[in-house]
Amino acid sequence: MLFARKRNSLLLILSILSWLGLLACTLLSAHPDLFGPHVEVPGWLLLLLQALFMVAVFAEESTTPDRLRGLDFVGLLRRLVLGPVLLAVAFAGLHLLLQLVVGRPPAGSVTHTVLHTLNIGLFVILLARTNYAWRSLVLFRSSDQLRRLWFCFEALLGATLLLRLFTWTLPYGLGPALLGVLAVFGAYVSSHQKWVAYLSRRQKLEAVLLQLAVILTMATFIFYFLHAPHYPKLPALVIQRSFLTVNAFFAGFYALMGLLVTVFNMPTGRVFEQKREEILNLQRLTQLIQRGQNPQEVYQVFFDSSVQTVNADAAWLSVETTSDEEYSGQYHHILPEQAQAICHLLADYNLGHIEYLNNDLLNSSGFRGLGLPFGSLIVMPLRSSKRQYGALYMLKEPSQSFDRENLSILQTFASQTVLSIENLQLVQASLDNQRVQDELKIASAVQDSLIPKNLPIDNWFEISSHALAATEVGGDFYDFLHLPGRRLAVLIGDVSGKGVTAAFHVAQMKGIFHALMQENPLARNEREKFPVPSKFMAQANNALARCLEKAAFITASLYIIDYEHGGFVFARAGHCHTLYYHSIKEEVSYFHTAGLGLGIIRNDGYEKHIKNQFYDYNPGDVMVIYTDGIVEARGADQEEYGEDRLKQMLERTYYLDADEIKEQILADLNEFSRGQPMHDDQTLLVIKFKASQPEPSL
């Protein structure tokens, strides 16, 4: 990098010095007496200085980095024309103008000599800039072979400089022949105009003008140099003529070829541009998916792109909707009534919502009857394998104006659009799903808060509990409530079904429990202050009848333990039987009582299906209350855990603490159902009545 910069500045200095030398020599040769004593300047010195100057300028230009930036061909041309071309033409024009105004200048006008030398310098710079700009264009996405050819071309041009330097004339005819070969070479290189294909229509127009400017410049200089030799003594004859001629020829010829190619490319360029437009539109559609826009925007982009691409005179898009607020389509240069009429006509012909191309509408009497000025129609449905989203209709006034190409690009647009829409729906669905998940988590947390965390503690009994839901929210529930007079209400139950609906009913059931277990201020005696379990169930059934869905029901058991009198009363509403260890009899058994689930009969007849069971407990008695998730848990061979296994477990563990009994039962249950999925919520309560201890005196 540093080396390149150094080399370039050296070349720059060399070119300036050689030009100054050239200027001095030219002045001296044109005006030998300018500085007093007569000085004769040899012709070879002039040629050598010229050659040095040209080599320095060309070498500097060839080593500067490529001036072509990306695909900005017009920019390259513009910088060329507005820079060196304009400057060189300005000075050449100035000189010619001066000549016109002053007339034929007196021999030995220093101004003319200086201007002439300046113009030679500018012309060389212009040629270097132009030809290296052409190099960028020729070598644009070129093969290695072309690069080698270009290198030969440069080498041959350099050779012409040397030939002239040694004033060695080739044998007759070979000199012009070499020039001819170089010209043919240049013409061949000029045929490489790949870059033109990358121009848009507007850019092509601009390129044509710029290339015209380059050609005119070359013409100006040829005119200028043809006139220059008329000045006596001007060393115009001793000039590196062949180098300049070949370069000027190449510069002009490449510009001419480029101009012709560009001009002839213009009509076919429209097709190219249309394809480009189609690709860009497709790209826009694709990008919209990634940005996650709404379906309406996707439809609008589809509509605009299609109308623009096909160049339709009129069009409309109809989108099938499920609600009024949604986007239902749009119209372009056609009234909804007219569109409706065409739709009806197509439906009559059984052509609604299928891909359809008609280029001769006016031949159809039905269409003529509508009195619309259109000759061609395309219908492009928007559909996936799953459903129909809508259809796009496009009209053109002349007949035969749509082709298969139009149809295929519209197909691509349509499938891209459907893809976008379905993508958006998927994104929406996954968002919704996420929201449901989040809400389930909240529901789960709420439900968790409904489960009593602090179990009642008293010196008359021990309670241990376990609850595990099969899904985020469960249908099992249990609750405790202290009643006055050293009584405790225990509720356990199970709502049929699972999930959020069941969870709602759980919350409802708890609400009912706390509402019904309030002291009745109108009670006539102590017994009526709180409802007995059967009464509670009847009232709960009544409350639930109106809000429980048809196929849902709830099972529940309510126990009211009176540990002052050492007894309890309970009612079983379709819930699992209560397992009980009787310490007096040293026996484990189930309380087999009748009782119908809640919500099964939804009229006053319920109360006769529920019974109260009274029992006086003894210290050491154990009561095991559970839900069907325990006894219906499946083992390896799909066998159920069952009441018998539960009973056997209590027979083995009744003497332990309530906590330990619970742990042992759960351990046995887990052993039994190891590796099996959990089907239902599991709830287990163990209550152990203890030997009576005197209440601490308050």
Partner 1 sequence: MKITQQSTENTLTLSLDGELDASSSVVLDTELSKPEILHNHKVLVNCQKLNYISSAGLGVFISHLQRFQDAGVKLVFFNMQEKVHNVFEILGLDSLMTIVPSEADATAI
Q: Is 404 a binder of partner 1 (CB under 8 A)?
A: no
Half-sphere exposure in the Cβ direction for 593 (13 Å, CA): 26
Q: Which is nearer to partner 1, 487 or 602 (CB)?
A: 602
DSSP secondary structure code for residue 607 in this structure:
G
Q: Helix, strand, or coil here: 655? A: coil
Say how far apart CA 234 and CA 108 lie, in whole Å: 9
Select the residue interacting with partner 1 from 497, 566, 619, 635 (CB under 8 A): 497
Say how far apart CA 644 and CA 308 lie, in whole Å: 79
CB of 496 to partner 1, least distance (A): 4
Q: Is 573 a binder of partner 1 (CB under 8 A)?
A: yes
Phi, then psi, of 120 in degrees rounded to 5 = -60, -45
DSSP secondary structure code for residue 566 in this structure:
T
Q: Is 640 a binder of partner 1 (CB under 8 A)?
A: yes
Q: Is 574 a binder of partner 1 (CB under 8 A)?
A: yes
- Beta-sheet strand order (sheet of 554-562): 476-483, 487-495, 554-562, 567-573, 612-616
Q: Is 496 a binder of partner 1 (CB under 8 A)?
A: yes
User: How is residue 677 written in tokens?
Assistant: 């999925």
Select the residue interacting with partner 1 from 601, 656, 666, 678 (CB under 8 A): 601
Q: Which is nearer to partner 1, 550 or 674 (CB)?
A: 550
CB of 593 to partner 1, least distance (A): 10
CB of 667 to partner 1, least distance (A): 25
**Which stretch of DSSP H or E encloses residue 571?**
strand 567-573
Select the residue interacting with partner 1 from 467, 596, 622, 633 (CB under 8 A): 596
Q: Which is nearer to partner 1, 417 or 541 (CB)?
A: 541
**8 A C-beta contact, residue 69 and residue 75:** yes
**Which stretch of DSSP H or E encloses residue 171?**
none
Q: Is 217 a binder of partner 1 (CB under 8 A)?
A: no
Site string for partner 1, 528-557 (x = CB under 8 A): ----------------------xxxx-x--
**Amino acid letter, 241:** R
CB of 577 to partner 1, least distance (A): 7
Size of the site for partner 1 (CB under 8 A): 22
Q: Is 597 a binder of partner 1 (CB under 8 A)?
A: yes
Select the residue interacting with partner 1 from 595, 612, 645, 685 (CB under 8 A): 595
CB of 592 to partner 1, least distance (A): 9
Q: Is 645 a binder of partner 1 (CB under 8 A)?
A: no
Q: Helix, strand, or coil here: 390? A: strand
Q: Which is nearer to partner 1, 609 or 662 (CB)?
A: 609
CB of 609 to partner 1, least distance (A): 6
Q: Helix, strand, or coil here: 501? A: helix
Q: Which is nearer to partner 1, 358 or 578 (CB)?
A: 578
**Which stretch of DSSP H or E encloses residue 330?**
strand 329-332
List the interface residues with partner 1, window 438-467 (CB under 8 A): none
CB of 531 to partner 1, least distance (A): 20
Phi, then psi, of 275 in degrees rounded to 5 = -60, -40
Closest alpha carbon to 151 in 189, 117, 114: 189
User: How is residue 138 written in tokens?
Assistant: 């020729």
Q: Helix, strand, or coil here: 388? A: strand
Binding footprint of partner 1 on the chain (CB under 8 A): 494, 496-497, 550-553, 555, 573-577, 594-597, 600-602, 609, 640
